[in-house]
């Protein structure tokens, strides 16, 4: 590098920006707007317009975060994690009920979901933890593996209890992914897999009734075609209706006529696949893959462990979101309530992901 980094001015910082990443993310959010316009029956209201505004706000926030030097995040990561954990723990006590689950906290009139804060906080905390540990041999020592597992498991368990199985899976997946990237010995992973296999028979006891029902329905959707199996059956009809090249924009009968439940949130991918067909669905999948590849390339170029792990953690988060969501709507895994980031209507997931992207972009800059 040929410029004086500490004195880099705003213009330099902007030039350094991963514009391709922002362009693809914006394209995905645009696809979200276009799809939400269609599922509303060809109307900007009530979803497409708000979705666009939310994305612009989240993008501004991400760029703002990217401007902040990443050492600030690094130094506050531990505290951030503890605050997030405190909020998460407060939910069962002072949380607000919505749709049979306690997920929200009302702070000064603003509703927040502590688990969303935790998703970002966990990535930062683990990145910082492994940066402090300094090498993979120490990272593989039992006490540190146990420590890392604890800071993953505590928020994950609190989240399962809310109940929010989707977010818990996301926390666990991202956390374990960071541990793997940080170089924790493969023996630990092998042992963990063996333990999990042994624990599967006992899992049903830990699940809520509705979660168990979803898994049962997943295994046999015809058991209850108008009840819990309805999501899966209707999604399958709409996907089939899409075919290779789709019904055409604004022509998706199944998603527009409300047959596909949650067509604007968790099942929005079905609407895309119905109107644009297999070609459109794979294109969207490829755009996500592009974002993930850009992030991994950024992570590999990073000059610090904290930066590399933060960026990779963001890539993992996006991967887990997309994989679970599409696997869910195509009936490969049970319906767990994970949105498709940037496309699904709903502010929380988008803001979480954009904050993570902002932190990744911040880490990308040479500190």
Partner 1 sequence: MAVVGPTRQRWLLSQPATAPDDAAVFTRRAVVVGMGNAAVFGGLAARLYDLQVLNGSQHGALAESNRSRTIWIPPVRGRIIDARGRLLATNRELFRIVLYPQRGTTRPDVARIAAELSPRFGVEGAELEARLMTALRQTNPLPVILADGLSFGDIAALQLSSIGAANVLVEPRHQRVYPELSVSAQFALAHIVGHVGAVDRLSLDDGPHLKDPGARIGKTGVEAGAETDLSGVAGRTVYEIDARGRHVRRLDERAAISGRDVTLTIDLALQEAVTATFATAGRGGALDGPPSGAAVVLDIASGAILAMVSTPSFDASAARAAGPQWRAYTADPARPLVNRATTGHYPPGSTFKMVTALAALEAGRVTLGEKIECWGEVTYAGHTYRCWNRRGHVATDLHRALRESCDCYFYEAARRTGIDAIARMAIELGLGQVYADAGIAPQRAGLIPTPAWKRSRASRSSPSSRTGWLLGETILAGIGQGYVLTTPLQLAVMTARIASGRKVIPTIVARDSRDPLPEHAPLAVSETHLVALRRALSAVVNEPGGTGQAADPGDGPTLVGGKMRVAGKTGTSQVSKASADRDRTKPLARTQRDHALFVGYAPADAPRFAIALVLEHAGSGGTAAAPVFAELVRLLIAHDTATVQLRSKTAPLPKEG
Of 12, 49, 78, 180, the residue at the interface with partner 1 (CB under 8 A) is 180
C-alpha torsion sign, points 24, 28, 33, 34: positive
User: Do residues 101 and 158 lie in contact, with contact meaning Cβ atoms separated by under 8 Å?
Assistant: no
Nearest CB to partner 1, comparing residues 64 and 227: 227
User: Least separation, in Å, of the C-beta of 255 and partner 1?
Assistant: 10
Chain centroid to Cα 50, Å, comes to 20
User: Least separation, in Å, of the C-beta of 243 and partner 1?
Assistant: 4
Separation CA 75–CA 36 (nearest Å)? 40
Hey, which residues between 314 and 343 contact partner 1 (CB under 8 A)? 316, 319, 322-323, 326-327, 330-332
| Token pair belonging to 364 | 């990308």
Of 35, 113, 211, 234, the residue at the interface with partner 1 (CB under 8 A) is 234
User: Least separation, in Å, of the C-beta of 282 and partner 1?
Assistant: 5
3-state secondary structure of 46: coil
C-alpha torsion sign, points 251, 246, 318, 88: positive
Of 71, 161, 208, 304, the residue at the interface with partner 1 (CB under 8 A) is 304
Interface size with partner 1, residues (CB under 8 A): 55
Hey, which residues between 245 and 274 contact partner 1 (CB under 8 A)? 253-254, 257-259, 261, 273
SS3 string, 49-70, reads HHHHHHHHHHHHHHHHHHHCCH
3-state secondary structure of 105: strand
Separation CA 326–CA 267 (nearest Å)? 9
User: Least separation, in Å, of the C-beta of 212 and partner 1?
Assistant: 23
Of residues 109, 104, 25, the one with CA closest to residue 61: 25
Question: According to the binding rule CB under 8 A, does residue 129 interact with partner 1?
Answer: no
Hey, which residues between 42 and 101 contact partner 1 (CB under 8 A)? none
Nearest CB to partner 1, comparing residues 113 and 256: 256
- Cis check: omega of the bond before 29, within 30 degrees of 0: no
Nearest CB to partner 1, comparing residues 176 and 354: 176
- ∠ CA(108), CA(109), CA(115), 5° rounding? 80
Nearest CB to partner 1, comparing residues 17 and 296: 296
- Give the range of 4-12, 78-86, 103-111, 235-243 binding partner 1 by CB under 8 A: 235-243
Beta bridge partners of 102: 97
User: Do residues 349 and 284 lie in contact, with contact meaning Cβ atoms separated by under 8 Å?
Assistant: no
User: Least separation, in Å, of the C-beta of 261 and partner 1?
Assistant: 8
Helices (H) and strands (E) in the chain, counts: 16, 3
Nearest CB to partner 1, comparing residues 211 and 234: 234
| Token pair belonging to 347 | 């502010």
Hey, which residues between 140 and 179 contact partner 1 (CB under 8 A)? 177
User: Least separation, in Å, of the C-beta of 357 and partner 1?
Assistant: 17
- Give the range of 46-54, 165-173, 206-214, 239-247 binding partner 1 by CB under 8 A: 239-247
- Give the range of 25-33, 91-99, 130-138, 340-348 binding partner 1 by CB under 8 A: 130-138
Beta bridge partners of 101: 98
Half-sphere exposure of 245 (CA within 13 A, CB side): 0
| Site residues (vs partner 1, CB under 8 A) | 134-137, 177, 180-183, 225-226, 234, 236-244, 253-254, 257-259, 261, 273, 277-278, 281-282, 285, 288-289, 292-293, 296, 299-301, 303-305, 308, 312, 316, 319, 322-323, 326-327, 330-332
């Amino acid at each position: 590098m040929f410029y004086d980094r500490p004195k880099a001015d705003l213009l330099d910082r902007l030039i350094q920006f991963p514009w391709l990443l922002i362009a693809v993310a914006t394209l995905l959010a645009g696809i979200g707007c276009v799809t939400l316009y269609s599922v509303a029956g060809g109307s900007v209201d009530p979803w497409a317009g708000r979705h666009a505004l939310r994305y612009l706000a989240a993008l501004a926030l991400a760029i703002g975060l990217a401007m902040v030097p990443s050492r600030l995040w690094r130094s506050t990561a531990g505290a951030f994690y503890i605050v997030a954990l405190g909020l998460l723990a407060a939910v069962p006590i002072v949380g607000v009920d919505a749709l049979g689950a306690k997920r929200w906290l009302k702070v000064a009139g603003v509703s927040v979901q502590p688990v969303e804060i935790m998703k970002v906080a966990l990535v930062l905390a683990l990145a910082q933890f492994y940066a402090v540990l300094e090498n993979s041999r120490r990272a593989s020592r039992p006490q540190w593996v146990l420590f890392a597992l604890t800071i993953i498991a505590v928020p994950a368990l609190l989240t399962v209890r809310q109940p929010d199985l989707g977010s818990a899976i996301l926390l666990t997946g991202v956390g374990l992914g960071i541990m793997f990237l940080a170089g924790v010995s493969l023996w630990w992973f092998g042992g963990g897999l063996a333990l999990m296999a042994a624990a599967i028979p006992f899992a049903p006891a830990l699940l809520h009734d509705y979660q168990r029902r979803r898994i049962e329905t997943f295994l046999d959707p015809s058991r209850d075609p108008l009840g819990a199996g309805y999501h899966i059956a209707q999604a399958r009809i709409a996907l089939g209706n899409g075919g290779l090249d789709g019904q055409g924009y604004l022509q998706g009968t199944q998603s527009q006529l409300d047959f596909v439940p949650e067509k604007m949130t968790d099942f929005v991918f079905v609407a895309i696949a119905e109107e644009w067909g297999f070609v459109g669905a794979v294109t969207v999948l490829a755009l996500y893959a592009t974002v993930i590849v850009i992030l991994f390339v950024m992570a590999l170029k990073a000059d610090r462990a904290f930066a590399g792990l933060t960026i990779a953690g963001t890539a993992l988060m996006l991967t887990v979101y997309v994989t679970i969501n599409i696997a869910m709507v195509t009936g490969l895994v049970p319906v767990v309530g994970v949105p498709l980031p940037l496309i699904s209507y709903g502010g929380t997931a988008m803001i979480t992901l954009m904050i993570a992207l902002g932190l990744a972009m911040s880490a990308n800059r040479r500190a």
